[in-house]
Each structure stands twice: as C-alpha cells, then as structure tokens.
Homo-oligomer: A and B are copies of this chain.
C-alpha cells in the first residue's frame, strides 16, 4: 500500500480521535489564533498581505490583519503570519510546527466551503496528525541536511486537511498528495529571515492548491511520496514506514508542545525549572544539553533578538520578575539595564551530556531544581496556561476560547479577522 493510499484512507474515513487529541486540537487552535493575532503587525505580515490583496480575487477567506482573498492566498498569508513570532506549537519528534502549516489551510477552506467549526477542527486534527507522521517518516536526516519539516511534512498535512474539507474521494486525495509531493518545499537556510515563517505559508498554500487541483481533475502520480524519484528518496528521507503504524487509532498529536516563553525553545526547560525558585539566589548554575550551547547561549546579548537566545539573560529576566511569556518583554533596552547585568553576573551555564535536549537542571545556591519538557502536563494546567498566554498576547483570549468551545466558526472568525 502506498503512503498516499494510507493517508487517503485516513482522510476519508470517519474520525475517532482520542479524548486527549480532541482536546489538544482545541488548545492548539486557541494558541495558533493567538500567535497569529500577535504577529499580524510584523513587517512580513504587511508585505504578504499587500501582495495578496494587490492581486485581488474572490473574497473567500479572511487574512490576519484585515482583508479577504481566495482561500489559497489566505492560507499562504495566514500561515506565514502565524509563524512570524515563532511562538506557535512544536512537535519535537516531527521536528516541526504542525499548526502553522495546517490550520491556515483548514480555516480558509472551511470558510470557503461553508463548513462549521467542528468540521474545521476535525480536518485540522487530521492534518496535524498526518504532518507529524510524515515528519517521522522523513526522519531526522531530512531535517539535518537542511529541510524545514514544518514546510515539507507540513504540506502533506495541509493537503489532507484541505482535501477532507473539499470532500475529495480517496482517489482524488491520492492525486492531491501526489501534487503536494512535487510542490512541497522549504529550507532551513531561511532561518533567521522572513523566509522561515514564509515556509509555513507555502505549506498551507500547497495544501489548498493540491486539493483544488485534484478536485478539478488534475491527475498526478500518487506514488510520488516513496520509491524511486519520489519525495522521500530525493529529499534525504529515512523512509521509516513504521511512522504510519496505527494511523487513525493512536494520536501522535497528543504529545504536542506549546511555548510558554517568547524565546528559543532551548531555554524553556530552564525557565520552567526556575519557576520553583523562591527569593533571589546569589548564584545560579544552569545545566543543559551540549547542543543548546551553540544555539542559545549568547553570554552578553546586545538586543532583544539576541536576548531570546541567551540563558544568562532569560535567567536574569526571570529573577527580576520580567514575564518571559510576553513578546514585548524582549526589548532592545534589556541590554542597558544595570539590574539585569548584575543578575546575569550570578549565572553560570554548564554543558551536561547526562541531560536530554528537553531537560534542564538548575542549582540555585546549591538547591537543585529540574524540568523535563517531555514530562506530561495535565490538560487543566495546559489549558490554564494557554488561556493566560492567549489573553496576554491578544486581549481576546476568553472570547477565542468561548468561540472554540461553542464550535461557533462565525464567532471565531469575528475574533480573528474582525467583525
């Protein structure tokens, strides 16, 4: 059975998500919308919205920040905007950000096709689950050589979500996946530029285009994911077919991570561990996985961006009571603050290969605190923290939550795109 056949069967069967998966997709919907609303004023957002609105076209779907356009264009623009702050959800095994590739496609097509919130959420869950499975199928080597899994594996997930909402047959879905295989793209070489969030938009757009073309009769090679000349073989994929085991029965999406700090994910374990600190210690020793030392250990950050990649600075911020969950906290004047400089002087960072990449160990005046991002968080705790994050980012957290809980797409659209 080809991968396209497996995925097409998944996309056209009734969905029976686990209770946890069904709740997690609602939490990710809230988080995705909040990140997008918070990012709609970024320079990238204005550029992409401007080009899309300049093209015009049928007002099928809303754009974050204003205006409407064809579903394809909305998926592209909204995908990029929602990833602009890099504050959206992550699946570590997938090595990517599932929601920013899938939700923009699902929402735009749901709007156009007149579906309700329930169908949109179901399609989104289908899409994120498929993109995580595709990420696992492609494997770490695909990421290591330079592909941005968010975009590549994400394109297949976006395609499935769009295909379901377009009502494609299993055969048509297979053709859509074949088209996605020849269109999916995205390089890590864009990290640190507007090209990174753009990649998420490209994946979302790919999903809408592939589904629309397949519905209109475009025929491709559905076997183009695996095998000779296929996507995996050409893109340094591992072809780990076991990645699709239990598809539709078990839910990889259950282990999605959400960001609660507006900085590099390598710093999050440390910040979580530091939540247990009482008072202000005279000395702080941070133990972390060796890989992070080359990623987020800038000793004396010069500006807000560099602060997002600095153990010493975020630790000093936490000690000073600055909210690391707020985007605005990472301002350029952090580097000028004498109180932070004094706190940074107390912080030492140590490489520790006994830790996993998701673990941190912090010694505060010798008192040990630790955190593992892989450790389960109760749904109640996660919901409460995402609720607070959404409210802090947008001031619309409660209204967004209410719209999602009521499965009211009209109310949700009014919140995200304006009345």
Contacts and interface: CB of A to CB of B under 8 A. Distances in A.
A182 interface: yes
Given A202-B183, A216-B47, A189 B56 contact: no
A132 interface: no
A195 B221 CA distance: 7
Given A187-B224, A221-B190, A70 B48 contact: no
Nearest to A217: B47
Interface string A207-250: 00000110011111101100111110111100000000000000
A301 B47 CA distance: 54
B221 A51 contact: no
Best-surrounded residue of A46, A48, A221 (most CB of chain B within 10 A) = A221
A198 interface: yes
Given A187-B224, A195-B182, A72 B44 contact: no
A193 B220 CA distance: 5
A343 interface: no
A179 B199 CA distance: 9
A146 B213 contact: no
Contact of A224 (B73, B190, B230, B235): B190
A257 B56 CA distance: 39
A43 interface: yes
B195 A220 contact: yes
A146 to B, nearest CB: 3
A44 B202 contact: no
A338 B43 CA distance: 69
A192 interface: yes
A57 interface: yes
A180 to B, nearest CB: 10
Interface string A175-191: 00011011111111111
A188 B229 contact: yes
A220 B48 CA distance: 13
Given A57-B70, A145-B233, A185 B187 contact: no
B216 A192 contact: no
Interface string A156-196: 00000000000000000000001101111111111111110
A55 interface: yes
Contacts of A57: 55-57, 70
Nearest to A59: B56
A86 B192 CA distance: 40
A55 B57 CA distance: 6
Contacts of A202: 182-183
Given A57-B70, A193-B178, A195-B179, A230 B50 contact: no
A199 B185 contact: no
A147 interface: yes
Interface string A51-66: 1001111100000000
A70 B56 contact: yes
A216 B183 contact: no
Give 10 nearest A-B pairs by CB, closest first. A146-B229, A57-B57, A189-B224, A195-B220, A185-B185, A189-B229, A146-B234, A55-B70, A188-B229, A56-B57
Interface of A: 43-44, 46-48, 50-51, 54-58, 70, 72-73, 145-148, 151, 178-179, 181-195, 198-199, 202, 212-213, 216-221, 223-224, 227-231, 233-236
14 contacts: A50-B216, A55-B70, A55-B72, A56-B58, A146-B228, A151-B182, A178-B195, A182-B198, A182-B199, A182-B202, A187-B229, A189-B221, A194-B218, A195-B224
Given A47-B216, A187-B230, 15 more contacts: A55-B57, A56-B57, A56-B58, A56-B70, A145-B233, A146-B233, A147-B234, A182-B195, A189-B229, A189-B231, A190-B220, A190-B221, A193-B221, A194-B218, A198-B218
